[in-house]
Amino acid sequence: MSGERGEARSAEGDLQEALAWGRQRLEEMGVFAADDGLRWAAAHGLVLSVWRNGPIEDAHAARPTRRRKGLPDGAMFARNTWLTRQVFDALGSDDPYRLYRLEDLILDREAVWPGCGGTLTDFGWGFLGEIQKHVKKRIDQFAYCEEVLDPEDFLVFAGAPRIGTHVDHYGMPQWPACVEAALGRLRGEDQEFWREWGELMERVGPAPDSVTADLGTAGRLLLEAPWELGSEILGWFAWNPVLSRPVTAA
């Protein structure tokens, strides 16, 4: 029994050490200074762990078949940001089963993905069993941690950048600066950007007409609901330096 108690104390110490490290890193990322920053970070981290960094990546990398649609970068951009918003909203609720409702949402095989024109079955055929197994395992892990941690520590645990949380992704502290920088670059205002990246941007090709025709609307949607732009437009923005953070935000 004494050995078991010692192991429990050691595990508790490891957890507290991890939480202290996570809190420090999130502080350095500006999470605590941003409005609802910790909840956004937790939503981002949870989506990465439960969804993005899992078997869906295999489907994303695989060639389409007669049964499975291709899953390009733009569709992943739309899906990941939409899920991040759903998780953010869920984490603000007092529903004791919120994580399991998110599991049902993520694994719904028939619901059409906003901005993508397809379902989990369409995009994940051939990987559905592995996706389900991964999502359920991760949700169970987070549900256990939610039981044993106080509410703020749970958000720190979920948002801690142990799995690659990005400070400049949708919902995170530097996302507004990235969107504003992109709009300025598309207006031709950032000459340093065009000197550095002009040749690459020529290869990428011009921004979609619907973006340049109304930069204000495009910027608002990028900031608040990127999936509403649709996967084809988001495909232009994905991995595009036009959305990189400005030097002052580095």
Is 157 in contact with 19 (CB distance < 8 Å)? Answer: yes
Token pair belonging to 51: 């969804």
User: How far is residue 6 CA from its own chain's centroid?
Assistant: 38
pTM: 0.92
Tally of domains in the chain: 2
Q: How far apart are CA 113 and CA 244, in angstroms?
A: 26
Quickly tell me which residue has 């049902």 as its tokens.
104
Answer with the one of 132, 163, 194 that is the final residue of a domain: 163
Averaged confidence pLDDT in the chain: 92
Claim to verify: residue 74 and residue 112 sit in the same structural domain = yes
Of 112, 129, 163, the residue that ends a domain is 163
Residue 168 in any domain: the answer is no
Tell me the mean pLDDT in the region 188-193: 92
Co-location of 125 and 213 in the same domain: no
Boundaries of domain holding 117 = 2-163
Q: Where are the alpha helices (DSSP H) in the chain?
A: 2-28, 37-47, 56-61, 73-91, 98-107, 120-124, 128-148, 151-159, 175-186, 191-204, 209-213, 215-224, 231-237
Which of 9-18, 38-47, 132-141 is the least confident region? 9-18
